[in-house]
Amino acid sequence: MNQEESAISFGYEASEEEIQKVILAWAQATEAFHYRFAKLDRLINTLQTASRRKPTANRARLNRLVALRQHMGDVLMTLLIDMSNQKTGQPAQLSKPGQLYSHANLLDELNRQIDVELISVTHVAQA
C-alpha cells in the first residue's frame, strides 16, 4: 500500500445524514442572513430618509448600521468566493461538510449581531 492509499483510508468520511444536517444548517443560516440583510437595508433607508429632515438625529446609529451592512456584504462575498474556490484560480469544487459548517456558524453569529442592532433600533423607535 503506498502513502496516498494509507492517507485516504485513515480519513474521516461523514455519513449521509451528517452531510444532510450540515447542508440544512447552512441553508437555514443563509436564508436567515438574507432576510436580515434585507431588513437591515430597509431600516437604513428609513433612517437615511429621516436624517435628511433631522441631520443630527441618529447619525451614529445610522453609521453603525451602514458599517454592519458593509461587513455583511464582505462576509457574503468571501463565503461565495470560498465556496467556488476562485481565489486560487482553480475550477469550482464541491465544498467539504466542515467548510459548510464553518460558514453556517459564521452566518449565525452575524445574524445574532444584526438582531442586536435591529432590536436596539426598534426599542429606540418605540420610546
Higher pLDDT, 48 or 126: 48
Cα-atom radius of gyration of the chain, to the nearest Å? 20
pLDDT exceeds 50 at position 127: no
Q: What is the pTM of this model?
A: 0.63
- Listed by start position, the domains of the chain span 27-126
Task: Assign residue 85 a region (left: φ > 0; alpha: ψ between -120 and 50; beta: otherwise).
Answer: left
Candidates 18, 32, 114; CA nearest to 69 is 114
Average pLDDT, rounded, for the chain? 75
pLDDT exceeds 60 at position 19: yes
> 95-123: buried (b, 16+ CB within 10 Å) or exposed (e) per residue?
bebeebbbbbeebeebbeebeebbeebee
Phi, psi for 96 (deg, rounded to 5): -80, 150
- The x, y and z cell numbers of residue 62, run together, are 445610522
